[in-house]
Structure 1
Amino acid sequence: MQGEPGTPRPAAGGVHVAPLMLKILVTVVVSMVAYVLTNLVNQSGDELWKIAVAVVIGGSALIVQYMVDFEQRLGTLETAHTERSRRLEEHFDQLSDAAALLSDLDDAGMSTSDAKRLIKNLRRVGRQGPEIVKAFARSEVESLASVVTDLTGMSAHWPRDNNEWLIRLTQCAQRTIDATSSSVDQRFWGTDSAGPYLDAQTEAMGARRVTIRRLFMVKESEANAPEVMARFTRLCQAQLSVGITVRYLVLPPSPVEQPHPRPASRDVVIFDTDLYLEFEPDQLGVNVKTTLDAQRERVNRQVRWFNALWARAQEVAPDPAS
């Protein structure tokens, strides 16, 4: 009964016949037709001859079937081979492009091991991380790609304060760091961000003999406030004690009609006289934009600007207690 275990069921769409059985059936039918036609053509002939003719014709039909089947399989193999060759060629092109990129990185003095590590770990995050981790990784890569792309034009921007750039560039400096600080009463030096920045400067001076100069911009109202200047003196002595050369410059009051901060009051940090960071404040003194610039003409202008202010600035009196 149909449906019982072990009972074969007809294939969907009709009865399925094995290719070998189909060839045999076709051969038998062709042989029988040949035999009948031979009888009709030559009814008085030898029976053995008729059978021989039928067998030859049937065998020929079988051979033709195998030749057609062979040709179809050969065509399929050729198509598959062409597709595999195309895929292999694309794969080798990708490998060649990847090898060329790594070679270009090496020629440019960049770390190929870091690039490989980034790609390898991005792949791992993509395979096993939850969606929010994947989204965060993509965002970080996009941010890095955007910054590096901007640097091909020797400048980059960040829409707010960027202490990470400040610390990382301090860690990369090899010769000099010249920095301005816009106000002795600003909150930065009392925040947690100031500690890593000063640590990075101390490490740069000790490990790589980097020379650091810091020029404080003191407002006239601050210079006339004893309590503010007392805090300023303590801040200067703390920086002098770790090897930073410190000077200060009292700024004249800004004209009432000038709504924007004076250029001299912006924080600028120049690294190795090759690149500078500029922090642009808003009306409340909060940094709202960070600019990284390595354009030679603009860097040279910042270096001249800093040296001119430094020449006019006053040295901080040494701590009598030291």
Structure 2
Amino acid sequence: MRIPPIVRKILVSLAGGGIAYLLTNATEQPQSITLILSSFVGGTLLMVQFLVDFERRLLSVEGALVSGLAGVSEASRQMRQLRSSRLDAATVTRLLNRTAEVGHDGPTVMYAFLEQEIRRLTELVRDLSGGETAYDGEDRDWLLSLTAVAVGSIDATSAAADSEFWDSELGLRYLALQGEAVSRGVTVRRVFILDSEDPAALREVEHVCRQQAAAGIVVRVMRSSGLAASSRVDPMFDFILFDQTLSYEVSSARALDQGGRLAIANTRLVVRPERVERRIRRFEELWSAAGPPAP
């Protein structure tokens, strides 16, 4: 059985006082002196124990205070960095507040999902701050979000006029967002690069071009055979320039399980100035070589 601290202190004090009483009594001191000395020793021992305990607690509080101040200092440093960033501090603060408000009674899978999404967002911020980030497979969130926030221009190239994509839910949402961008003053241009003379493929191109034009997008069409030899060295045909500062790039591969159709292998966001500048030159070269679609 564990003895409570206060009882232990009293027992130690009584033991010390008792020993002092026995020693003074053995030297045949007057009874009054014996009682005074034993009481003094016992009281002193009790006081010393309380002082030691007080100092221990004081050190513990001091350590906690230092740790707390260090945490406050770190939080203050991060807030200063956030305020100096071009990101909206209020938006980041709302994310932190909502994260802190997540309760403890939800399903485990919900917390795992939220942690995964926060990790993914953290990696996106880290990688894009470094100049480039990639996503395996087809993306939709980046494409739609970038279209929604563009303020100056959207310059896009496409190696195919795929009506199946443009008639899909994603394609229609993307087209609608481009129309909204045009309405707020954003210039949207698109070059379709064709490698087929098949009449059905040409009709598909005409259908897609009419969709694009109706949304206010300036469209041009060219055949890959019209590319200069130097232009064919660069295999990148599917990319979108947002405000001429960020390049959204798509790499395709043949999907054998889908009848050999092209499938998106990965999607990249690039903000490295030299890479974006190459894409700008590439787009202007293609735009100059292309012409208006057939009426």
TM-score between both structures, scaled by the size of structure 2: 0.86
1:269 aligns with 2:245: no
Work out the CA distance in 2 between the residues paired with 1:216 and 1:86.
Answer: 66
Match of 2:72 in 1: 95
SS at match of 1:248: strand
RMSD: 2.7
**Paired residues of 2:150 and 2:242 also in contact (CA < 8 A):** yes
Identity within the alignment, %? 25
1:276, CA displacement in angstroms? Answer: 0.4
The question of whether the paired residues in 2 share the 8 Å contact of 1:27 and 1:59 is answered with no
In the TM superposition, residue 22 of structure 1 has moved relative to its aligned partner by 7.5
Q: Which amino acid aligns with 1:271?
A: F
- Tell me, yes or no, if structure 1 residue 234 matches structure 2 residue 182: no
5+ residue gaps, structure 2, are 255-260
Q: Would the alpha carbon gap of residues 184 and 263 (structure 1) be closer, same or farther in structure 2, given more than 3 Å must change?
A: farther
**AA in 2 matched with 1:211:** T
> 1:80 — aligned with what?
57
Cα distance change, pair 35–157 in 1 and its aligned pair in 2 (3 A): closer
Change (3 A) 1:274 1:30: closer
Q: What is the count of residue pairs matched by the alignment?
A: 283
1:213 paired with 2:189, answer yes
Shift of 1:145: 1.1
Report the residue type matching 2:67 in the other structure: E
Pairing partner for 1:160 from 118, 121, 137: 137
Amino acid in structure 2 at the alignment position of 1:218 = L
1:249 to 217, 222, 227: 222
Contact 2:155 2:189 in 1 (8 A): yes
Distance 2:89 2:209 in 1: 42
Q: Distance in 2 between matches of 1:299 and 1:104?
A: 27
Measure the CA separation in 2 of the matches of 1:79 and 1:21: 20
1:262/1:165 Cα in 2 relative to 1: closer, same or farther (>3 Å)?
A: farther
Q: In structure 1, what residue type is equivalent to 2:77?
A: A
Detail structure 1 runs of 4+ shifted over 4 Å in the superposition: 16-37, 261-265
1:264, distance to aligned residue in structure 2 (A): 5.1
Structure 1 unaligned regions, length at least 5 = 1-10, 39-49, 255-260
The structure with more radius of gyration: 1
Residue 290 of structure 1 deviates from its aligned partner by 0.6
Using the alignment, how far apart are the partners of 1:249 and 1:142 within structure 2? 42
Q: CA deviation at 1:62?
A: 1.2
User: Quick check: 1:23–1:62 contact (8 Å CA) kept in 2?
Assistant: no
Q: Where do 1:23-42 residues align within 5 Å?
A: 27=17, 31=21, 34-35=24-25, 37-38=27-28
